[in-house]
């Protein structure tokens, strides 16, 4: 192992879905900073273009594409297009998620289907299509975004939490199935991170501050603080790591936090 280059990805190709904002944008920029050519995909093409422009302005290599993870044929086409153009796909990152916050007893079938369609089925589309390509080439890193909600829940998060736990189990299955082909599969579980998905909470100070207090650092995380985990799992530094989840949660899942006893 050349430790000086263990995080470098020169000559590699990475696909980041959801790269138009938040954690996806930070992940795309971080991978590009390590030398990867990044295909920035997002449902909003303008968001993907903004991220690609930021990468290019910093001297990196990137292109922007529109992609809806729910559309399986579109995902397959995008993967095939990457293989046609670059003859390889080294890293695939799936970040998109949606949430409908309401009690389970009030959920409609339509809302249930919508959350599962994006969070679980969409992730399945990317992981399987990218995984098939990587298995053929004999190498690659699949990275899916789960959440602290794969372990702990709160009222109104039941369906979202189920999708995030399901994502971890899919990752574990892929690690077992594709490991012999040289492909690694891992998940990242963010805590509370300032992103467009969590933006509505900032408008409710009590809620926002309560979440901040649950972290041992007393604050929310930033997208760039999650990007390091993406780079790690995509790089040679994680060559013997597969089938696991890395929590980037400021200690949320480690510390009880309800009461600090006098010591």
User: Does 28 fall in a domain?
Assistant: yes
Domain count, the chain: 1
User: Does 3 fall in a domain?
Assistant: no
Other CB atoms within a 10 A radius of the CB of residue 241 amount to 14
User: Does 67 fall in a domain?
Assistant: yes
Write down the pLDDT at residue 37: 98
| 185 CA to centre of own chain | 12
User: Does 1 fall in a domain?
Assistant: no
Contacts with 167 (C-beta within 8 Å, 6 or more apart), sequence order: 119, 120, 123, 144, 145, 146, 150, 187
Q: Which residue in 139, 32, 23 sits closest to 89, CA to CA?
A: 139
Write down the pLDDT at residue 118: 97
User: Does 119 fall in a domain?
Assistant: yes
pLDDT along the chain (263 residues), means of 10: 94 98 97 98 98 98 98 98 98 96 97 98 98 98 98 95 98 98 98 84 90 93 97 98 98 84 77
Write down the pLDDT at residue 201: 87
Q: Which residue in 31, 6, 5 sits closest to 224, CA to CA?
A: 31
Give the angle 12-241-1 at the CA atoms, nearest 5°. 60
Contacts with 214 (C-beta within 8 Å, 6 or more apart), sequence order: 191, 192, 250, 252, 257
CA distances from 39 to 84, 96, 136, 203 (A): 13, 15, 20, 33
Write down the pLDDT at residue 83: 98
Q: How far apart are CA 21 and CA 49, in angstroms?
A: 10
pTM score of the predicted model: 0.96
In this structure, what CATH number is given to the domain that contains residue 234?
3.40.50.720
User: Does 223 fall in a domain?
Assistant: yes
Provide the annotated active-site residues. 160
Domain span at residue 176? Answer: 10-247
Write down the pLDDT at residue 243: 98
Q: Give the distance between the most distant pair of CA atoms in the chain.
A: 63
Structure tokens at 83: 């293989």
User: Does 52 fall in a domain?
Assistant: yes
User: Does 176 fall in a domain?
Assistant: yes
> What pairing do the DSSP bridges indicate for beta strands 183-190 and 13-17?
unpaired
Write down the pLDDT at residue 195: 84
């Amino acid at each position: 192992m050349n430790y000086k280059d263990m995080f470098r990805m020169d000559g590699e190709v990475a696909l980041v879905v959801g790269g138009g904002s938040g954690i996806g944008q930070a992940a795309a920029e971080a991978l590009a900073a390590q030398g990867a050519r990044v295909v920035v995909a997002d449902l909003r093409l303008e968001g993907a273009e903004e991220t690609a422009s930021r990468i290019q302005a910093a001297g990196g290599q990137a292109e922007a594409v529109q992609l809806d993870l729910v559309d399986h044929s579109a995902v397959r086409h995008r993967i095939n297009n990457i293989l046609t153009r670059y003859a390889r796909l080294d890293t695939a990152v799936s970040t998109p998620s949606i949430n409908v916050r309401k009690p389970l007893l009030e959920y409609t079938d339509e809302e249930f289907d919508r959350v599962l369609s994006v969070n679980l089925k969409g992730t399945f589309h990317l992981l399987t299509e990218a995984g098939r390509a990587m298995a053929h080439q004999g190498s690659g890193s699949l990275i899916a975004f789960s959440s602290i909600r794969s372990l702990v829940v709160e009222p109104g998060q039941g369906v979202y939490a189920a999708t995030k736990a399901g994502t971890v189990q899919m990752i574990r299955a892929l690690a077992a199935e594709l490991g012999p082909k040289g492909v690694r599969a891992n998940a990242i579980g963010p805590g509370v991170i300032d992103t467009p998905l969590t933006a509505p909470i900032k408008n409710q100070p009590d809620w926002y501050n309560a979440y901040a207090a649950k972290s041992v650092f007393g604050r929310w995380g930033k997208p760039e603080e999650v990007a390091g985990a993406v780079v790690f799992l995509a790089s040679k530094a994680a060559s013997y790591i597969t089938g696991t989840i890395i929590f980037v949660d400021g200690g949320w899942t480690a510390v009880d936090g309800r009461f600090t006893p006098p010591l």
